[in-house]
């Protein structure tokens, strides 16, 4: 009880003093983000004093320098920057003092929260690799790795390729990178294009908060890839581009330059030969040295360009690896330098378009008189040109001639080509009044060529006058007249002109009328001054008889002169006569007509404009009447005939013109209408003198024909006609009906009596003679002229009423060869018709295509065409037996003259058989399997491979025979050896496919290693013969792969169990088992077991690889079940194909050595097991302690995974329950120096924490015991979440012989 008293003593003392010490009211674990800014609030110290004393806060400790506290408020701010990656946890001492009691102190843990403040860092720099240029696409060429010190998603790194150097746009897609950092080749490499690449690789984290902003960090580095060259490139010219120069007119053989090319293939350095490939150049090249010399005359000015391009080819002496000529070409620029051998010339052209083909000596320009000094002469295009180059083209210009002092030339010096101008030098000498034309000479002097230095250009200059005169009219007033109604454009006065002595445009005068109102009636020609009528409709003397206007003349300088115009309008005959009344009269035919025309004229009386005259205008009836020209009285010349008039009403219209005598003469027309009455004075008349018709037999009511008659009377009642048949022979068989066609025009329709049936066969005469009467119904019976008759003959015709028939003989099957070997007519169809009058044609109804009895679609629709005459023609050269072997034409015959019954024959078919032609070669079918042969167990006639082929042709044309063309053995070292008669082929047919069975023809050599390349040929059997070839690869398995399996059972027992043994071996090896033989063993002292029999066999895969004895042993031992089954079947020893028989001494030494090795191996295994067990339990107990510490932290902290103090290095064991990670026994994270192997981790799965071994180990260590059962239960539960470790056998040493 003494310790209890000591505990209560401070409280008793405080009660006596009457004041209580303060205490902290807060948690003692705070969280501060590592990106907190200096001076910002980190956390708050909070304490309570029940006495209300003033509290003072403080912080202390070795890590307190990171913070600063306000003593009064307890607000803690950041003083030094934090870095979680450097120090994730801080411990400081916080204190509070009330001024009376002792200071109260507590330990405060500050957890630094992670922020995304670290970028990924690439490891193991620099990144460099060398890869051959023929690296295959999708190969892994490098692996990069970047680490990010942050946690969570901010530590997850992704990769991308930002840039590829060189030529980023072109090569960016040449590579790509996987999430695990593997760089993959995505295209083909070419050393000649790029010898290296630099890939700028970006590593980017998953992003996280930094200063409360979602931040993503990136890092970049370069991966340098060096491309290894292969000998596959053309030569390359050095020091390109090539250019040289040579003076024109130089000697032949002058050296221009030397080109050099090298072989770009490493280590080859083939000899190079040079040649100039473009023709017609005056140069030659030395084939070995590459020196270019002049081989022809050079004239720079005659060449198309001073720069000549030579195409030089460099060719390697030997062919490249593709068996092609390795060569390269380059362009050599040869500049022909200039020699001063040309003088300057003048050209009349513009500088931009001058071709300098024809020089000029005479030029012409113009300038305004008294122009200012330095003003150039206009309309002058002078180009001076010296075809030489550089200083050789420099020349001087000066003026000569009678007017040289008035002008100057610019420029005075030119190099090559320039535009020459003449400038005014003395304006007073440039005077139009003194001289209209001036002349100077321009001299071009090439001072560098005294032998031929100068050229002369003569320039004629026209002076232009200035405006200094005003236009003047000869008169101040002009009196003009114009006739009213004058046409638009009528000239009133053609010669009113003004005079201006100025020249050119300044003396050109423009005329205009004023005021504006006068321009509505009149206008003036702006150029000639002629006054014209503008609008004749406004020019009416009765409205206005006189007009006044001002005529203005303006010159090109806008100087003006005027005159006055007085225009009088003259009278014109503009009123036509007016006819009064209308004129319609009626009269019977045969009577006379008298009529007076009345008219007046409103023009002035007594004037010729008002004097009238009358006349009948030409017309249909103008000759039937006359009229008095002065009085207008009208009479008929002869009696009127109604039948002469075509008008149904009998009207005659006569046009009378009433005219005056003015100029121009005006007139008015009036129609006079006379209606003439009809009388019956005409007899019907038939249109034909006789008629002849025909009608088919047995056609009652059929229409035979029509007779027509007319009556000239012009009224309906006087022109009616009726038809009747005159009684006589055969008239009772017919009827006739009258039909009105028009006025006085009737038709008699003759038909067969409905009750009569005319039979062509019973008639003695095949025709009837009838007489038809036509009578005017308005005439009196007594009048003889009222009736007329005509003769009608009716012929009886036979009727075509039989259907045509296609002759069966013409429908026999026919044959046509394919591929257009037959053209034109291939068959002729024949049809018949019993009718005497017929016209037969053939019609194609359908085309049907068949192949082997089944429909072939529409493939043959256009192969043949059936003509109307029955000709069957080949219409296409695309006839193909393989597409269609039978064409069926459905057809019929048609009688075009059939009038009764069916005009078509029955539908018939013509079958056309397509004859096959051998036009298709055999085609080998694809081979997907791999062929293997074991020579030791391959007897003659054993099938080792098969080929299949088809031929689209039929019969013998499509029958295939196989043969072996060649056999070549390709050994492992690439050497080839030809063989003969090693294999044979047997041909069999399977439906439409032919199978070639490749069989052994002679004993194979089992010691040969490699693959046989067998060339098989397929050939059809009918000319023209077609062939095709294919190459088979047959892998040979040699004796080195023969394995001996020794059994403790007898030969008979092994033989009886052989199928079971083979099945077990096939299951474990997945290979084909080929047994060579089973025999007994006499001497078995070499082994510890007594073997009685041996089975020798090969283990071969379908891809041509085989297992040796070591690989077989490893595979059998990897499967305990199969191994147990084979042992049960008697398997004792697996050995190589040939076993040497050791002596007794060797056997004894072998047994002793084996026992020693076994003992040593046993000691090593036990020692290793002890060490691994110790380390395993040590790590397990460390993980349990870490778990206990982890339980003291908040869940928010634990969710950060590796951020929990004390547990990071044990996450791999699953000791962190917050992470809930499953264990991967094949992955060692390496977090601790005691990290175990996979075996040690697995050992933890099979032991509990309460194992006795653990207790002993804890006693020996003396540290870190499990004291709380709850911690132990949590660890056991976490470990039990793992799945049992699965062991998979991986044979890393499995190396088959790939042939």
Beta carbons of 1095 and 1075 less than 8 angstroms apart:
yes
Token digits for 337?
């330098």
Beta carbons of 823 and 874 less than 8 angstroms apart:
yes
Phi (first) and psi of residue 886, to 5 degrees: -145, 130
Confidence at residue 604, expressed as pLDDT on a 0 to 100 scale: 66
Quick check: 159 pLDDT over 80?
yes
Cα separation values, 398 from 25, 457, 633, 1197, Å: 112, 11, 101, 101
- The count of residues in the chain is 1299
Query: What mean pLDDT is predicted for residues 8-12?
Result: 35
Confidence at residue 337, expressed as pLDDT on a 0 to 100 scale: 83
What would the 3-class secondary structure string for 1145-1175 be?
HHHHHHHHHHHHHHHHHHHHHHHHHHHHHHH
Q: Are strands 362-368 and 454-464 parallel, antiparallel or unpaired?
A: parallel
Nearest one of 1072, 1009, 1074, 1071 to 1045, comparing CA atoms: 1074
Confidence at residue 1102, expressed as pLDDT on a 0 to 100 scale: 72
Q: In whole angstroms, give the CA distance from residue 868 to residue 843.
A: 6
Q: Which of 747-751, 763-767, 1185-1189 has the lowest mean pLDDT?
A: 1185-1189
Beta carbons of 162 and 144 less than 8 angstroms apart:
no
Measured from the Cβ of residue 88, the count of other Cβ atoms closer than 10 Å reads 19
Phi (first) and psi of residue 27, to 5 degrees: -80, 155
- 1271-1273-1276-1278 Cα dihedral, nearest 10 degrees: -70
Cis peptide before 1130 (omega within 30 of 0): no
**pTM to 2 decimals?**
0.32
pLDDT in tens, 103-113: 999 999 999 98
DSSP states of 281-304: -SEEE-TTT-EEEE-S---GGGSS
Beta carbons of 884 and 914 less than 8 angstroms apart:
yes
Between helix 1109-1118 and helix 1058-1069 the angle, nearest 10°, is 90
Confidence at residue 1005, expressed as pLDDT on a 0 to 100 scale: 82
Query: What mean pLDDT is predicted for residues 882-895?
Result: 91
Cα separation values, 618 from 579, 651, 675, 700, Å: 19, 17, 19, 57
pLDDT in tens, 1113-1125: 888 888 888 888 8
Q: Which of 318-327, 452-461, 480-489, 1162-1171 has the lowest mean pLDDT?
A: 1162-1171
Q: Give the SS3 label for residue 1114.
A: helix
Quick check: 1189 pLDDT over 80?
no
Query: By percentage, how much of the chain surpasses pLDDT 90?
Result: 24
Quick check: 13 pLDDT over 80?
no
Confidence at residue 1165, expressed as pLDDT on a 0 to 100 scale: 83
Confidence at residue 183, expressed as pLDDT on a 0 to 100 scale: 92
Quick check: 1282 pLDDT over 70?
no
pLDDT in tens, 771-804: 899 988 876 654 555 689 899 998 888 777 778 9
Confidence at residue 909, expressed as pLDDT on a 0 to 100 scale: 92
Q: In whole angstroms, give the CA distance from residue 317 to residue 118.
A: 61
Which helix (H) or strand (E) segment holds residue 445: the answer is: strand 437-445
Confidence at residue 18, expressed as pLDDT on a 0 to 100 scale: 63
HSE at residue 79, side-chain half, CA atoms within 13 A, is 11
Query: What mean pLDDT is predicted for residues 974-983?
Result: 87
Nearest one of 206, 186, 205 to 197, comparing CA atoms: 186
Confidence at residue 149, expressed as pLDDT on a 0 to 100 scale: 85
DSSP states of 1208-1267: GGGGGGT--TTT-PPP-TT-----STT---HHHHHHHHT--TT-HHHHHHHHHH-S----
Q: Give the SS3 label for residue 844.
A: strand
Cis peptide before 241 (omega within 30 of 0): yes
Q: Are strands 721-725 and 685-686 parallel, antiparallel or unpaired?
A: unpaired
CA Rg, the chain, in Å? Answer: 65
Q: In whole angstroms, give the CA distance from residue 239 to residue 260.
A: 8
Nearest one of 70, 176, 59 to 108, comparing CA atoms: 59
Token digits for 191?
């050393």
Confidence at residue 92, expressed as pLDDT on a 0 to 100 scale: 93
Token digits for 703?
């229409």
Q: Which of 383-387, 756-760, 1093-1097, 1176-1180 has the lowest mean pLDDT?
A: 1176-1180
Quick check: 975 pLDDT over 60?
yes
Quick check: 1110 pLDDT over 90?
no
Query: What mean pLDDT is predicted for residues 181-207?
Result: 87
Beta carbons of 660 and 609 less than 8 angstroms apart:
yes
Distance of CA 412 to the CA centre of its chain: 62
pLDDT in tens, 1250-1265: 333 444 434 334 433 3
Quick check: 242 pLDDT over 70?
yes
pLDDT in tens, 673-693: 888 887 777 888 898 999 999
Confidence at residue 1, expressed as pLDDT on a 0 to 100 scale: 39
Q: In whole angstroms, give the CA distance from residue 1268 to residue 1249.
A: 12
pLDDT in tens, 796-836: 887 777 789 999 988 899 988 888 778 888 899 999 887 77
Confidence at residue 5, expressed as pLDDT on a 0 to 100 scale: 33
Burial state string for 594-629 with b = 16 or more CB within 10 A and e = fewer than 16: ebebebebebeeeeebbbbbbbbeeeebeebbebee
pLDDT in tens, 901-956: 888 999 999 999 988 888 889 999 888 777 888 887 788 888 889 999 998 888 78
Query: By percentage, how much of the chain surpasses pLDDT 70?
Result: 86
Cis peptide before 1024 (omega within 30 of 0): yes
Quick check: 1229 pLDDT over 80?
no
Q: What is the mean pLDDT of the chain?
A: 81
Cα separation values, 870 from 806, 844, 896, Å: 10, 10, 15
For the sheet with 633-636, list strands across it: 594-596, 633-636, 625-627
Beta carbons of 262 and 351 less than 8 angstroms apart:
no
pLDDT in tens, 826-880: 899 999 887 777 889 999 889 999 988 899 898 898 899 999 999 999 888 888 8
Confidence at residue 871, expressed as pLDDT on a 0 to 100 scale: 92
DSSP 785: G
pLDDT in tens, 727-746: 877 788 889 999 998 888 99
Confidence at residue 1272, expressed as pLDDT on a 0 to 100 scale: 43
Q: Which of 76-85, 440-449, 1232-1241 has the lowest mean pLDDT?
A: 1232-1241
Quick check: 467 pLDDT over 90?
no
Bridge partners (DSSP) listed for residue 383? 347, 419
Q: In whole angstroms, give the CA distance from residue 658 to residue 667.
A: 5
Quick check: 33 pLDDT over 90?
yes
DSSP states of 496-510: ---B----GGGG--E
Q: Which of 535-539, 813-817, 1044-1048, 1173-1177 has the lowest mean pLDDT?
A: 1173-1177
Give the start-end residues of each E strand in 779-900: 787-797, 805-806, 814-817, 824-828, 831-832, 840-851, 854-855, 864-866, 871-874, 886-895
Q: What angle do CA 276, 277, 281 make, to 5 degrees?
A: 65
Beta carbons of 934 and 1074 less than 8 angstroms apart:
yes
Place of tokens 């050119």: 504
Please report which residue ranges of 878-1001 form alpha helices under DSSP H: 955-958
Q: In whole angstroms, give the CA distance from residue 599 to residue 608.
A: 15
Query: What mean pLDDT is predicted for residues 989-1005?
Result: 88
Confidence at residue 297, expressed as pLDDT on a 0 to 100 scale: 85
Q: Are strands 886-895 and 908-915 parallel, antiparallel or unpaired?
A: antiparallel
Q: In whole angstroms, give the CA distance from residue 406 to residue 423.
A: 9
Give the start-end residues of each E strand in 180-323: 182-185, 196-205, 208-210, 213-215, 218-228, 236-237, 242-247, 255-258, 261-262, 272-276, 283-285, 291-294, 307-319
Query: What mean pLDDT is predicted for residues 177-197?
Result: 86
Q: Which of 208-222, 940-954, 993-1007, 1084-1098 has the lowest mean pLDDT?
A: 1084-1098
Quick check: 1186 pLDDT over 60?
no
Beta carbons of 1032 and 1016 less than 8 angstroms apart:
yes
Query: What mean pLDDT is predicted for residues 1269-1293?
Result: 38
Q: In whole angstroms, give the CA distance from residue 939 to residue 936.
A: 8
Confidence at residue 493, expressed as pLDDT on a 0 to 100 scale: 86
Quick check: 16 pLDDT over 50?
no
Nearest one of 810, 805, 986, 801 to 902, comparing CA atoms: 801
Confidence at residue 747, expressed as pLDDT on a 0 to 100 scale: 93
Q: In whole angstroms, give the CA distance from residue 150 to residue 120.
A: 9
Cα separation values, 878 from 671, 860, 910, 914, 954, Å: 81, 9, 20, 12, 18
């Amino acid at each position: 009880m003494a310790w209890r008293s000591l505990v209560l003593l401070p409280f008793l003392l405080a009660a006596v003093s009457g004041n209580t010490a303060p205490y902290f009211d807060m948690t003692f674990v705070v969280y501060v983000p590592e990106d907190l800014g200096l001076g910002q609030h980190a956390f708050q110290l909070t304490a309570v004093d029940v006495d209300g004393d003033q509290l003072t806060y403080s912080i202390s400790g070795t890590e307190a320098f990171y913070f600063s506290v306000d003593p009064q408020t307890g607000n803690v701010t950041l003083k030094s920057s934090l870095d979680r990656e450097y120090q994730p946890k801080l411990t400081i001492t916080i204190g509070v003092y009330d001024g009376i009691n002792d200071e109260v102190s507590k330990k405060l843990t500050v957890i630094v929260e992670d922020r995304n403040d670290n970028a990924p860092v690439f490891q193991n720099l620099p990144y460099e690799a060398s890869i051959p240029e023929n690296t295959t696409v999708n190969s892994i060429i490098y692996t990069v790795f970047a680490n990010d010190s942050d946690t969570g998603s901010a530590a997850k790194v992704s990769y991308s390729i930002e840039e590829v150097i060189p030529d980023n746009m072109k090569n960016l897609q040449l590579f790509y990178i996987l999430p695990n950092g593997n760089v993959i080749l995505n295209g083909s490499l070419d050393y000649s294009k790029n010898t290296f690449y630099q890939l700028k690789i970006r590593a980017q984290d998953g992003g996280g908060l930094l200063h409360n902003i979602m931040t993503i960090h990136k890092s970049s580095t370069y991966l340098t890839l060096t491309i290894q060259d292969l000998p596959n490139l053309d030569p390359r010219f050095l020091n390109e581009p090539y250019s040289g120069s040579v003076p024109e007119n130089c000697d032949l053989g002058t050296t221009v330059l030397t080109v050099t090319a090298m072989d770009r293939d490493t280590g080859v350095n083939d000899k190079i030969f040079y040649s100039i490939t473009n023709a017609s150049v005056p140069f030659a090249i030395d084939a070995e040295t590459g020196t270019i010399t002049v081989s022809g005359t050079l004239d720079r000015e005659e060449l198309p360009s001073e720069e000549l391009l030579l195409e030089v080819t460099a060719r390697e002496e030997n062919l490249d690896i593709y068996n092609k000529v390795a060569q390269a070409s380059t362009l050599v620029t040869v500049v022909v330098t200039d020699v001063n051998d040309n003088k300057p010339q003048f050209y009349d052209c513009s500088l931009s378009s001058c071709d300098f083909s024809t020089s000029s000596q005479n030029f012409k320009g113009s300038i305004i008189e008294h122009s200012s000094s330095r003003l150039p002469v206009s309309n002058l295009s002078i180009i001076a040109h010296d075809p030489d180059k550089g200083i050789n083209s420099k020349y001087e210009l000066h003026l000569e001639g009678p007017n040289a002092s008035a002008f100057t030339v610019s420029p005075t010096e030119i190099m090559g080509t320039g535009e020459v101008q003449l400038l005014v030098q003395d304006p007073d000498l440039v005077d139009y009044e003194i001289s209209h034309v001036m002349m100077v000479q321009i001299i071009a002097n090439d001072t560098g060529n005294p032998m031929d230095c100068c050229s002369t250009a003569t320039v004629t200059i026209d002076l232009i006058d200035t405006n200094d005169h005003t236009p003047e009219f000869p008169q101040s007033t002009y009196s003009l007249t114009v006739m009213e109604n004058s046409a638009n454009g009528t000239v009133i006065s053609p010669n009113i002109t003004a005079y201006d002595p100025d020249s050119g445009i300044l003396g050109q005068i423009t005329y205009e009328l004023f005021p504006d109102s006068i321009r509505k009636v009149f206008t003036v020609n702006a150029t000639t001054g002629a006054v014209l009528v503008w609008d004749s409709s406004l020019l009416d003397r009765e409205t206005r008889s006189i007009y006044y206007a001002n005529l203005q003349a303006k010159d090109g300088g806008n100087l003006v002169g005027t005159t006055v115009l007085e225009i009088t309008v003259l009278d014109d005959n503009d009123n036509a006569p007016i006819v009064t009344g209308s004129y319609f009269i009626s009269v019977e035919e045969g009577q006379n007509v008298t009529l007076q025309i009345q008219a007046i004229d409103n023009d002035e009386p007594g004037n010729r404009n008002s004097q009238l005259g009358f006349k009948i205008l030409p017309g249909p009836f103008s000759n039937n009447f006359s009229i008095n020209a002065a009085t207008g009285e009208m009479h008929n010349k002869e009696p009127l005939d109604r039948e002469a008039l075509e008008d149904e009403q009998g009207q005659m219209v006569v046009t009378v013109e009433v005219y005056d005598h003015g100029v121009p003469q005006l007139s008015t027309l009036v129609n006079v209408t006379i209606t003439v009455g009809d009388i019956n004075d005409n007899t019907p008349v038939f249109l034909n003198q006789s008629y002849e018709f025909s009608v088919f037999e047995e056609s009652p009511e059929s229409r035979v024909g029509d007779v027509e008659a007319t009556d000239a009377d012009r009224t309906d009642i006087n022109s009616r006609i009726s038809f009747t048949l005159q009684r006589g022979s055969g008239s009772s068989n017919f009827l006739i009906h009258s039909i009105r066609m028009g006025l006085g025009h009737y038709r008699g329709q003759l038909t067969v009596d409905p009750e009569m049936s005319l039979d062509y066969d019973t008639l003695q005469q095949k025709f009837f003679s009838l007489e038809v009467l036509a009578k005017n119904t308005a005439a009196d019976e007594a009048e003889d002229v009222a009736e007329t008759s005509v003769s009608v003959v009716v012929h009886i015709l036979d009727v075509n009423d039989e259907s045509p028939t296609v002759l069966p003989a013409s429908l026999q099957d026919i044959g046509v060869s394919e591929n257009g070997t037959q053209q034109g007519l291939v068959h002729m169809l024949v049809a018949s018709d019993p009718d005497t009058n017929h016209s037969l044609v053939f019609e194609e109804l359908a085309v049907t295509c068949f192949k082997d009895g089944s429909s072939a679609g529409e493939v043959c629709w256009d192969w043949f065409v059936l003509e109307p005459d029955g000709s069957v023609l080949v219409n296409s050269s695309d006839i193909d037996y393989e597409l269609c072997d039978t064409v069926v034409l459905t057809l019929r015959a048609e009688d075009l003259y059939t009038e009764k019954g069916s005009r078509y024959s029955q539908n018939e078919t013509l079958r056309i058989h397509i004859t096959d032609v051998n036009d298709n070669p055999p085609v080998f079918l694809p081979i997907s399997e791999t062929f293997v042969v074991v020579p030791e167990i391959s007897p003659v006639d054993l099938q080792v491979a098969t080929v299949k082929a088809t031929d689209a042709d039929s019969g013998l044309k499509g029958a295939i025979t196989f043969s072996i063309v060649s056999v070549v053995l390709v050994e492992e070292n690439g050497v080839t050896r030809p063989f003969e008669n090693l294999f044979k082929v047997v041909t069999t047919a399977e439906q439409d496919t032919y199978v070639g069975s490749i069989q052994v023809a002679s004993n194979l050599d089992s010691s040969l290693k490699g693959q046989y390349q067998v060339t098989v040929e397929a050939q059809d059997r009918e000319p023209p013969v077609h062939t095709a070839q294919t190459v088979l690869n047959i892998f040979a398995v040699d004796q080195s792969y023969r394995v001996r399996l020794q059994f403790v059972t007898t030969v008979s027992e092994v033989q009886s169990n052989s199928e079971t043994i083979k099945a077990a071996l096939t299951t474990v090896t997945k290979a084909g088992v080929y047994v060579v033989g089973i025999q007994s063993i006499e001497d078995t002292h070499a082994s510890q077991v007594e073997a009685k029999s041996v089975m020798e066999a090969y283990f071969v895969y379908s891809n041509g690889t085989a297992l040796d004895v070591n690989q077989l042993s490893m595979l059998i031992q990897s499967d305990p079940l199969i191994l147990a089954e084979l042992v049960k079947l008697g398997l004792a020893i697996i050995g190589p194909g040939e076993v040497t028989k050791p002596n007794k001494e060797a056997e004894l030494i072998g047994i002793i050595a084996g026992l020693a090795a076994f003992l040593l191996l046993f000691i090593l295994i036990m020692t290793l097991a002890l060490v691994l067990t110790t380390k395993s339990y040590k790590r397990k107990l460390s993980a349990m302690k870490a778990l206990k510490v982890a339980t003291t932290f908040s869940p928010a902290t634990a969710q950060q995974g590796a951020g929990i103090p004390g547990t990071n290095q044990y996450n791999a064991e699953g000791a962190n329950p917050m992470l809930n990670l499953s264990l991967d026994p094949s992955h060692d994270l390496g977090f601790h120096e005691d990290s175990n192997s996979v075996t040690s981790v697995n050992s933890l799965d099979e032991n509990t924490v309460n194992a006795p071994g653990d207790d002993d180990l804890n006693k020996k260590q003396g540290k870190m015991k499990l004291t709380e059962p709850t911690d132990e239960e949590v660890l056991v539960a976490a470990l039990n979440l793992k799945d049992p470790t699965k062991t998979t056998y991986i044979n890393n040493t499995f190396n088959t012989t790939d042939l």
